[in-house]
Amino acid sequence: MLILGTGQHDTVRLSEEAAEYFRQRGVEVRLLPTPEAVAAWNDAPEKSIGLFHVTC
């Protein structure tokens, strides 16, 4: 699972190419505003990656 923090104002998005890459590999991607993404990552299964946009 990839949890992507999309910023305070929920503005970050994956490109179609990136979304397709993860889809083809069976990776669940969750895009959430960063405060929600941090909480989701804290509760996520062991095999999870968190990326957090924190500049806005």
Q: What's the pLDDT tens digit per position in 9-45?
A: 889 999 999 999 999 999 999 999 999 999 999 999 8
Tokens of 55: 């500049």
Which SS3 state, helix, strand or coil, does residue 28 take?
coil
Integer Cα distance of 34 and 10 in angstroms: 7
Q: Mean pLDDT throughout 41-51?
A: 90
- Biggest CA-to-CA distance, the chain: 31
pLDDT bucket at 56, cuts 50 / 70 / 90: low
Pairing between β-strand 2-5 and β-strand 49-52 as defined by DSSP bridges = parallel
Provide the CA 7 distance to its chain's centre, in angstroms.
Answer: 10
